[in-house]
């Protein structure tokens, strides 16, 4: 399972935190990643406006919109501590030193946002490991489609 600091990852993918739909774009990309990699993903976003904080399942991704009273970093740490021994099976994605330190303390594997972005691009540009026969499944994204997603991030300033 991956626990991702969402606002830390968005700029690495070329997005801008000032756009209104930056989180939605990231969630769509992560849904494709989950579909292709078969990994579970939980993403944490800071600064949810009043009345919008909480956890929602968006497609195949669990999204935590953290209230302005705390931070995504603290929510990730709480989640790791709540997992106890199972935290060893988790990869924490962030470039924040405190989050990386907390991951190590709990036995989770830290991964920088840059490294995860590379994994994300590789995963999205390769075919699924075990192809399905269900015709409703979408094909793997091409390099051009990934570039288009990245352009969408860059064009939403």
What confidence score (pLDDT) does residue 156 get? 56
Say which CATH class 2-151 falls into.
Answer: alpha beta
What is the pLDDT at residue 127?
64
Domain boundaries, the chain: 2-151
Question: Where does 10-156 have alpha helices with state H?
Answer: 22-37, 72-83, 97-106, 113-125, 143-155
Please report the pLDDT score of residue 138 as a whole number: 61
Between CA 92 and CA 2 the distance in angstroms is: 6
Q: Is the pLDDT of residue 157 over 60?
A: no
How does pLDDT run across 3-27, given as a tens digit for each residue?
999 988 988 887 766 666 788 889 9
Per residue in 71-88, pLDDT (tens digit) is: 999 999 999 999 999 999
High-pLDDT (> 90) share of the chain, %: 43
Helix, strand, coil percentages, rounded to 5, for the chain = 50, 20, 30
> What pLDDT shows up at residue 146?
76
Q: What's the chain's average pLDDT? A: 83
- Give yes or no for a contact between 26 and 48, defined as CB atoms under 8 angstroms apart: no
Give the pLDDT confidence of 47-73 residue by residue, as tens digits: 877 778 888 888 889 999 998 888 999
Q: Is the pLDDT of residue 123 over 60?
A: yes
Nearest partner of 34 among 146, 131, 120, 110, judged by Cα = 120
Give the predicted TM-score (pTM) of the model.
0.76
For the chain, give me the number of helices (H) and strands (E)? 6, 6
What is the average per-residue pLDDT within 26-33?
A: 91
């Amino acid at each position: 399972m991956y626990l991702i600091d969402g606002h830390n990852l968005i700029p690495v993918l070329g997005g801008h935190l000032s756009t209104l739909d930056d989180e939605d774009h990231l969630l769509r990309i992560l849904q494709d990643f989950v579909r292709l990699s078969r990994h579970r993903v939980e993403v944490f976003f800071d600064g949810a406006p009043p009345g919008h904080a909480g956890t929602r399942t968006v497609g195949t991704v669990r999204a935590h919109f953290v209230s302005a009273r705390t931070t995504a970093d603290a929510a990730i740490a709480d989640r790791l501590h709540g997992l106890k021994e199972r935290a060893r099976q988790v990869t924490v994605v962030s470039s924040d030193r405190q989050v990386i330190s907390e991951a190590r303390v709990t036995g989770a594997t830290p991964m920088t946002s840059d490294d995860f972005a590379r994994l994300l691009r590789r995963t999205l540009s390769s075919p699924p490991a075990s192809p399905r026969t269900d015709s409703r499944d979408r094909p793997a994204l091409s390099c051009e489609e990934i570039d288009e997603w990245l352009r969408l991030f860059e064009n939403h300033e």
